Amino acid sequence: MTTRAYVAVGANLGDARAAVAQAVLDLDDLPQTRVVARSSLYRSAPFEASGPDFINAVAALDTELDAPALLDALQQLEQRAGRERPYRNAPRTLDLDLILHGDTMLDTPTLTLPHPRMDERAFVLQPLAEIAPERVTPAALATVAGQRIERL
| Digit-coded pLDDT (tens) for 99-151 | 999 999 999 999 999 999 999 999 999 999 999 999 999 999 999 999 999 99
| C-alpha span between 106 and 94 (Å, rounded) | 24
Q: What is the largest CA-CA distance in the chain?
A: 40
CATH of 3-145, picked from 1.10.10.10, 3.30.70.560, 3.40.50.2300, 3.20.20.70, is 3.30.70.560
Whether the Cβ atoms of residue 94 and residue 42 lie closer than 8 Å to each other: no
Q: Which of 38, 43, 92, 135 is catalytic?
A: 92
Q: Is 97 marked active-site?
A: yes
Q: Is 34 marked active-site?
A: no
Give tens-digit pLDDT for 86-112: 556 656 889 999 999 999 999 999 999
Whether the Cβ atoms of residue 47 and residue 91 lie closer than 8 Å to each other: no
Q: Is 62 marked active-site?
A: no
pLDDT the model gives residue 86: 54
Q: Is 95 marked active-site?
A: yes
| C-alpha span between 45 and 61 (Å, rounded) | 26
- The residues spanned by each domain of the chain are 3-145
pLDDT the model gives residue 93: 86
Q: Which of 26, 97, 121, 135 is catalytic?
A: 97
pLDDT the model gives residue 123: 96
H/E segment holding residue 22: helix 16-28
| C-alpha span between 37 and 44 (Å, rounded) | 21
